[in-house]
Structure 1
Amino acid sequence: MDVELPTLLGAGLVLLLIFWLGLLSLKIKIPSVILYILLGILLADALHENEILHFSSEVGIVLLFFLLGLEFNVNRLGGIAKKIWPAGLMDVALSLGVSMLLCLAFGMDLFTSFLIGGVTYATSSSITAKLLDDTGRMANSETEFILALLIFEDLVAPIVVAIIMGMSSGESFQTTDLLLLLSKIIVLALGAIILGKTVFKHFEKLLNKIEDEDFKIALLVGIALSYGGLALLLGLSEVLGAFLAGMMLAEIGKIERVEQTVHPIKDLMLPMFFVYFGTSIEFDQGIPYAGLLIALLGWSLLAKLLVGMIGGRMFGLSKRVSFRAGLSICARGEFSVVIAAMASGLIKVFSGMYIVIAAFIGMMLFERAPQLTNLVYGKPQKKKKNLKVPGSS
């Protein structure tokens, strides 16, 4: 006789397992995101209908993009765009566009091809940033380029999510539908900018007056969820709405006060999103579309390498440093999971397998990037200093 776990007990056990996997990820140096997805796959039968897990995952992903939006005020967005846009557009064309064409060549329909192209597009910001820090490469000359490219992807990916949601409405997606969708995105973005410059102009003073942390949490999380929900009401993605909600508050003087309040809630809820995604993946039917999977893995790694090598040069890096940058941006992660979560059936299984494999390969390439660069370009020669001997002319 099967025993059904109470919803609350299931959620509590998941939190305990998340704690243990978090410690394990530090010891074996594997991103916790991958372990959380694998946990969801293993516990799929027990947790797939868990309402608390589902709701927590929604809140977690909304708060992730809300905090991401806090980093982008209008002036900063303009500064980043001026320097990184050539490499960023190349990244869109190669990582999303060509991957989409590959899917069409393998017989996929337009919507599925675009969705899979979205899955293969964005480098994992969390994995890449953590590896940069763990390996002591934050001060390297390619790091500014890598971070700028991640920011560009962070801006494009929510729009990709919104377009996929529009295309998945079930009706034929025409040019007018795309224009309407883009119009909604523009209106929502302009609304965020206007609110940021007017209603939230003196928001920092209000935060200073709120001494009770509970009230502050309710206010900030409420703003994030409300604007995310407004995006859903307009037929867009809650991810895009949450990102724009963060942008609304990015104009205040010290965003650290907002981050300090929201971060603990996000850190608690976000692992639930990856676990819940794992519960939706079923491997009963083996490896779907194995040929396409191999082709996409090969191309997506090559595409990021080309973006690093060519885009890095346009950014002003040397050939050597550009090559090392390309090897360091191959891991896929959170954005890919967000997009894959909108798939169903075999496409979701396919996307899940791609993400896990691409994340592992990307991590390996990142850690071995300096050695592989030395193998291709030789070890860098240390510049000799001309030392003058006393008494010499």
Structure 2
Amino acid sequence: MLSDFPLLLGAGLVLLGIFFLGFLSLKLNFPSVILYILFGVVLADLLSHNELLHFASEIGIVLLFFLLGLEFSVRRLGGIAKKIWPSGLLDIFLSLGVSMLIALGFGMDLFSAFLIGGIAYATSSSITAKLLDDKSRMANTETEFILAILIFEDLIAPIVIAILIGISTGGSFEANDLFLLVGKVIGLAALAIILGKTLFKKFDDLLDKVEDEDFKIVLLIGIAVSYGGFALYLGLSEVLGAFLAGMMLAEIAKIERVEQAVDPVRDLLLPTFFIYFGTSITFGDGIPMPLFLAVLLLWSIAAKIIVGILGGRWYGLSKKVSLRAGLSLCARGEFSVVIASVATGAIKVMGGIYIVAAAFLGMLLFERAPAIANKVYGKKKPKKKDLKVPGE
């Protein structure tokens, strides 16, 4: 019986599945993330309540964003924040606002329309960050813009979730609640900055004193998980907390030592997040509201491409790089799953199908983004150098 299925056996099968699917993705040159999600969907009945898998997935996603945060010092993040807000507001209007209007046009009530807008709003931070890393695009011109949009969405999405949960449980979400949420975000960021400038200012010296690599790993993962958990305790995203934890250490002299210590653990545990994500999606019987689903899917992809094209230009990117950024923002994921869980009946089933389809199409567009941008704007031709012949 499934209820008697040991947690440890499930964990072992998941690890073997990760090896096989990772190996298969390399042979087929196909995104491993898609295979991991589908693996979770197939084994949903078996793994949906596996606490070990859930715990591993949380650690994996926290470490991913901890390492991302290491790339952003306070000064750099402040400069990005000044440039990203127009693009972030455009994203809210197109991805959330217009999606709501489409839902209302199909006869949905205001709450259901807001719920649909929430599902369609946030790009999957985990999928996008993983693909940036896998495809060696972390150093690309558009990556800073993409990560800035993801961070902006990670600040807005918890507010959307809090409003939806407040309404769906029969409660109310008042202006005071909104101010409280914003205050928590500001407080969490301020604390990270203070700790980075005080407690972690001499962190290099501490790492030099810890000779055993295992203890370094425990220390660094403990910092990442603790701050991510503190964000959860405040009712915010663990992803945001982990990113801020990385930012606290971003100004130490030898940042590569931190990355080398955490990278192997991140690489081991991160696939479990996508598998667990797959187990959270239920399809039910058939596809409800197929026309609405198709329209929402097409618009939500178009909206992110527009955000990239217009927002990227506002951010200072070229037309070609802006298009590449927009094509890389289309995957939906973890926040959409959380918001879809608030829904009931046909909307919940449709939300699950939408998330899988948007994740799949978003990853394919991410893969093809450089090629599509080259086709639209052409490849940059190398400048010819005037070679002088000796004796001329």
TM over 0.5: yes
Q: Are the counterparts in 2 of residues 340 and 348 from structure 1 also a CA contact under 8 Å?
A: no
Distance apart, 1:129 and its partner CA? 5.1
Distance apart, 1:372 and its partner CA? 5.1
Q: Within 5 Å, which residues of 2 pair with 1:76-225?
A: 76-106=76-106, 107=108, 109=111, 112-119=115-122, 124-128=128-132, 130-131=134-135, 133=137, 143-144=140-141, 146-167=142-163, 168-169=165-166, 170=169, 171-225=171-225
Distance apart, 1:104 and its partner CA? 4.5
Distance in 1 (CA, whole Å) between partners of 2:274 and 2:382 is: 47
Q: Residue 124 of structure 1 aligns to a residue in which SS?
A: helix
Distance apart, 1:40 and its partner CA? 0.8
CA gap of 1:176–1:132, structure 2 versus 1, over 3 A, is same
Question: Which runs of 4 or more aligned residues in structure 1 lie more than 6 Å from their structure 2 counterparts after TM superposition?
Answer: 380-390
* Alignment partner, residue 5 of structure 2: 5
Q: Please tell me the residue identity of whatever aligns with 2:40.
A: G
* Alignment partner, residue 241 of structure 2: 241
5+ long unaligned stretches in structure 1: none
Distance apart, 1:13 and its partner CA? 0.7
CA gap of 1:120–1:351, structure 2 versus 1, over 3 A, is farther
5+ long unaligned stretches in structure 2: none
Distance in 1 (CA, whole Å) between partners of 2:203 and 2:387 is: 61
CA gap of 1:235–1:331, structure 2 versus 1, over 3 A, is closer
Structure-1-length-normalised TM-score:
0.83
Report the more deviating stretch, 173-182 or 324-333: 324-333
Distance in 2 (CA, whole Å) between partners of 1:32 and 1:374 is: 25
**1:332 is the counterpart of 2:335:** no
* Alignment partner, residue 343 of structure 1: 340
CA gap of 1:97–1:259, structure 2 versus 1, over 3 A, is farther
Distance in 2 (CA, whole Å) between partners of 1:104 and 1:202 is: 55
Distance apart, 1:71 and its partner CA? 1.7
Q: Please tell me the residue identity of whatever aligns with 1:160.
A: I
Distance in 1 (CA, whole Å) between partners of 2:54 and 2:37 is: 14
CA gap of 1:381–1:150, structure 2 versus 1, over 3 A, is closer
CA displacement, residues 55-81 of structure 1 (integer Å, 9 cap, x when unaligned): 111222222222222222111113334
* Alignment partner, residue 227 of structure 2: 227
Structure-2-length-normalised TM-score:
0.83
**1:270 is the counterpart of 2:270:** yes
Distance apart, 1:30 and its partner CA? 2.2
Distance in 2 (CA, whole Å) between partners of 1:304 and 1:238 is: 24
CA gap of 1:245–1:298, structure 2 versus 1, over 3 A, is same
CA gap of 1:153–1:276, structure 2 versus 1, over 3 A, is same
Q: Are the counterparts in 2 of residues 125 and 150 from structure 1 also a CA contact under 8 Å?
A: no
Q: Residue 340 of structure 2 aligns to a residue in which SS?
A: coil
- Percent identical: 56
CA displacement, residues 130-160 of structure 1 (integer Å, 9 cap, x when unaligned): 4465xxxx89xxx41x212212123113213
